[in-house]
Amino acid sequence: MNSSKFIALNFKSAWLRNLLLMSSIVIAYVLFGILSAFQQSYGATSSDDDASRMITANKINFTQPLPLSHFHEVQKIPAVREQTYAAWFGGYYQEPRNSLHAIAVEPQSYLKVYGKDLHLSDSAQKSFLDDRSAILVGKSMAEQYGWHVGDQISILNKRITRADGAHNWVFRIAGIFEGATEQIDTSFLYIHYRRLNEARDQNVDTIGWIVTKPEVGENPSAMGQAIDQHFKSFTDRTTTESERSFSQAFVAQFGNLALVTLLVLAAALMSLIMIVGSTTALSVQQRAREVGILKALGFTRQQVLQLIVTESFSLTIISGCFGLAIAAGLLESMAESFASIAPGIAITAEIFVAGVLSMIALASLASVIPALKVVNADTATLLRRS
């Protein structure tokens, strides 16, 4: 018999309680992993470029359109080096539940500003630029609907009526972009703005937002202020912010439900941690008799403490790591579904380290403090109690 065998036998003796306790820890760390991954993904930077990209939208709200003429006005501002524009298209594929994140863009300038992020072949770019019915589809969206390059797809859009009264829009897939990094959302598709603008019967010559990049050495925020200053006297005034802030505001449209879910999960996680903590603390206190016997046999306080704490730490860390592994598996399998609100969501090394540190903290609080109390108690009192 050695310490490990003693601990294993002790674990086995209360296997049901320990199994339930381990299950609670596993669930707690599945939630911890998922929550942390979401948290990290929300604040993630998609690429180095997006730090310098600024988005100009209508000052009232970004859902309000801007006149296309604003784009030409922006070109006059000296601090601006590159610019493009886009408008929300939306629609759905086959059934309303298959809603699409579809954006109408000015292809030439859009690829100039975002080409590096999209990671698209030259032939795909050319194929997109040459045909107004061509679209670019993100990898995760293409995988979700089983689309391939060259496929003709039909998108229904009840919000935008074509001039002929129809709501049906047929496109050809010119290319599938993979995204230069994992954080880049590939659950989008891009159509030609001119195709939208020429066919629709209202909001003609309006756009959703303008994307700009500053001249080398120019401060992006200063450029943004210059843009807003330029439009100060226009009917449609603007507000310019970094792409990251804009994306977060955009995500917030869909994110409120996610936020509520996250809060519920966080509450569940805290409850589980408290249950695990109190159960562990109670089980340590119930071992007063065992502690008394071991001390009477000649075990030192330190040796007894080591036995109890090792058992508690092993139980917490094995279960916690298993929980994080399950969270990683779940996130991997659900990455596509979360791609639009949390691109590149995964259990990163940072989350793993934070998880292990919290396991150590949990095990310490739950076992070391009550174990110290029991181990430091008078041996004769412990034996009398038994």
Partner 1 sequence: MTKTPIIEVVDGCKMYSKSRNDAVVFEHLNLSIQQGEFVALMGPSGSGKTTLLHSIGGLEKLTSGQILIGGQQIDHFNERQLARLRSQTIGFIFQFYNLMPMLNAAGNIELPLMLTKLGQKERRRRVDEAAEMVGIRHRLKHRPNELSGGEQQRVAIARALVSDPPILLCDEPTGDLDRATATEVMKILQLLGKELGKSIVMVTHDPSAADYADQTYTFNKGEISKMDRAA
Short-list 236, 240, 161, CA closest to 203: 161
Q: Helices 15-42 and 301-338: crossing angle, nearest 10°? A: 50
What's the Cα-to-Cα distance from 72 to each of 75, 108, 237, rounded to whole Å?
A: 5, 15, 15
Which residues on adjacent β-strands are paired with residue 241? 55
**Tokens 């006297």 — which residue?**
233
Q: What is the largest CA-CA distance in the chain?
A: 94
Smaller CB separation from partner 1, 134 or 294:
294
Smaller CB separation from partner 1, 346 or 383:
383
Smaller CB separation from partner 1, 195 or 287:
287
The minimum distance between CB 20 and partner 1, in angstroms, equals 18
CB–CB of 80/215 below 8 Å? yes
The minimum distance between CB 9 and partner 1, in angstroms, equals 5
**Tokens 């909001």 — which residue?**
203
Neighbours of 157 (CB within 10 A): 19
The minimum distance between CB 305 and partner 1, in angstroms, equals 12
Which residues on adjacent β-strands are paired with residue 326? none
The minimum distance between CB 275 and partner 1, in angstroms, equals 24
Smaller CB separation from partner 1, 294 or 324:
294
The minimum distance between CB 310 and partner 1, in angstroms, equals 14
Smaller CB separation from partner 1, 18 or 238:
18
CB–CB of 88/100 below 8 Å? no
Instruction: Supply 99's token pair.
Output: 């809603």
**Tokens 């792409």 — which residue?**
243
The minimum distance between CB 362 and partner 1, in angstroms, equals 25
What's the Cα-to-Cα distance from 27 to each of 18, 35, 283, 319, 385, rounded to whole Å?
A: 14, 12, 20, 9, 36
**Stretch (H or E) spanning 227:** helix 220-230
The minimum distance between CB 316 and partner 1, in angstroms, equals 20
Smaller CB separation from partner 1, 216 or 297:
297
Smaller CB separation from partner 1, 116 or 289:
289
Which of helix, strand or coil describes residue 282?
Answer: helix
Q: Which amino acid is at 154?
A: S
The minimum distance between CB 298 and partner 1, in angstroms, equals 3
Q: Which residues bind partner 1 (CB under 8 A)?
A: 1-3, 6, 9-10, 12-13, 289-290, 292-301, 303, 378-380, 383, 386
Integer Cα distance of 131 and 385 in angstroms: 86
Smaller CB separation from partner 1, 6 or 145:
6
Integer Cα distance of 72 and 117 in angstroms: 24
